[in-house]
Structure 1
Amino acid sequence: MKLCRYIITCVFLLPGFVFELKGQEVEKANMAGKEVYMLKSKVSGSDTVPHVMLSEVKIVPRWRFRNKRERRVYSRLVRNIKVTLPYAKIAAAKLEEINAHLAQLESEKERKEYLRVAEKKLFQEFEQPLRKLSFSQGRLLIKLIDRETGDTSYNLIKEYKGSFSAFFWQSVARLFGSNLKAEYDAEREDRMIEHIIIMIENGML
């Protein structure tokens, strides 16, 4: 960890060192499912510039509000996203963990038993916190789960619990004005939400 901090400090705080990096070739790679950028090593005189991995950093400008109403909507979204985004990220991590374990099981009986136990543990851990969410936060969480997992809540329920369960919970969600089939649209409908998430992850909100 100390070495990593030292390298990061060198890259971003020493002007001369940064100057040396400008001419280096950058290549894209996939590590643990994440896209990263790496600088190829380079010999400069008697020194070798270290091989540094650069994670992608999204830069966005401040949101330009058209009116006071949009500013209020934005502020409310910031509060709700800070509440729900951690749950969506946990859901993605749990899903990855469950899929990895299921891949090691050979029989359908073992898979069903594992899913039954996993579901029980998830309910015990998250039922009470999730019950405290407002309706608007619940609808937002459904979309954020799609953002983080790459699949809608409806499809996830259908895959792990079957078509009937997915249909049942979709019907219940509809009664409360929600839609488990809601997809995340970062480019259009959910552009403001995406902007806020990037700002939060960059430590700007």
Structure 2
Amino acid sequence: MINKALLLFCSLFSVASLSMAQNTYVSAGTNDTIRVAAINVNGEIMPWIVLKEVVVADYRRFATKEDYDRFRRLRYNVIKVLPYARFAGQRYRQLERDLATTSDKRKQKQYVKDCDKEIKDLFNREVKNLTISQGEILIKLIDRETQHSSYELVRDLKGNVSAFVMQSVAKLFGHDLKNKYDVDQERDIEAIIRSTGYYSYQ
């Protein structure tokens, strides 16, 4: 008899607790819920969220040790110059935004001058110490970041004469400022960039 009464009491207590929990959930404030987007699929509302892209890559195997060493050098060089290319892309996009805010030729000229000074300061401080291979990669990555070759950027900022002079100097060191970035041709560089978790400025 006592066991039955105890069992009945426990059951009632459990029901009461569940009821209170349900009431507590229902009366929760608006800040206690997670809002997500939803879509109607055949009359059923289905929530959805956007997840970050997950890249699945196979382990790379190299035919020879020379191939492996060559890839390691390429990876080192790409990672070394990538911050400079990103800076160039960010600074160029900032310049485009600044130029779009005014039609005042004097202000536009000052914006270009400021941008040129920042790039020169970076060059004199760090970029000038890059190797020839790193410089060649940097030229390609600048095109990847800005969708403009280094030659086009110099021409737009400094004029045709400066672009010609810079191209001539670059040629002396085995570079071509008109080099464009081709994802299909630069599959190793693109794979290295993606392995760092960086895709593009967008």
> Structure 2-normalised TM-score?
0.71
Displaced runs of 4 or more, over 6 A: none
Work out whether 1:185 is the aligned partner of 2:182: yes
Q: Where do 5+ consecutive residues of structure 2 fail to align? A: 1-33
Which is worse superposed, 142-151 or 111-120? 111-120
SS at match of 2:51: strand
SS at match of 2:86: helix
Q: Which residue of 1 aligns with 2:144?
A: 147
- 1:83 counterpart letter in structure 2: K
Q: Is the 8 A contact 1:142 1:153 kept in 2?
A: yes
C-alpha distance in structure 2 between counterparts of 1:62 and 1:114, whole Å: 46
- 1:70 counterpart letter in structure 2: D
C-alpha distance in structure 2 between counterparts of 1:73 and 1:40, whole Å: 47
What are the within-5 Å matches in structure 2 for residues 14-163 of structure 1? 40-42=37-39, 51-163=48-160
State the Cα distance separating 1:62 from its structure 2 match.
2.9
Largest Rg, 1 or 2:
2
State the Cα distance separating 1:116 from its structure 2 match.
1.2
What fraction of aligned residue pairs are identical, expressed as a percent? Answer: 37
- 2:111 counterpart letter in structure 1: Y
Q: Where do 5+ consecutive residues of structure 1 fail to align? A: 1-6, 8-38
C-alpha distance in structure 1 between counterparts of 2:54 and 2:168, whole Å: 40
- 1:195 counterpart letter in structure 2: A
State the Cα distance separating 1:76 from its structure 2 match.
0.2
1:44-102 Cα deviation digits (max 9, x unpaired): xxxx8655233444433233322222111100011111110111111111111111001
Q: Give 1 or 2: higher strand fraction.
A: 1
C-alpha distance in structure 2 between counterparts of 1:71 and 1:107, whole Å: 54
- 1:124 counterpart letter in structure 2: D
C-alpha distance in structure 1 between counterparts of 2:112 and 2:195, whole Å: 36
Q: Is the 8 A contact 1:41 1:50 kept in 2?
A: yes
1:154-204 Cα deviation digits (max 9, x unpaired): 11111121111111100000000111011111112x1111111111227xx
Q: Which residue of 1 aligns with 2:194?
A: 198
- Indicate the RMSD between aligned Cα atoms, in angstroms: 2.5
Which is worse superposed, 115-124 or 160-169? 115-124
Q: Which residue of 2 aligns with 1:171?
A: 168
Q: Give 1 or 2: higher helix fraction.
A: 2
> Structure 1-normalised TM-score?
0.70
1:96-148 Cα deviation digits (max 9, x unpaired): 11110010121223211221122123323442111221111111100111111
Q: Which has the higher contact order (CA 8 A, sep 6+)?
A: 2
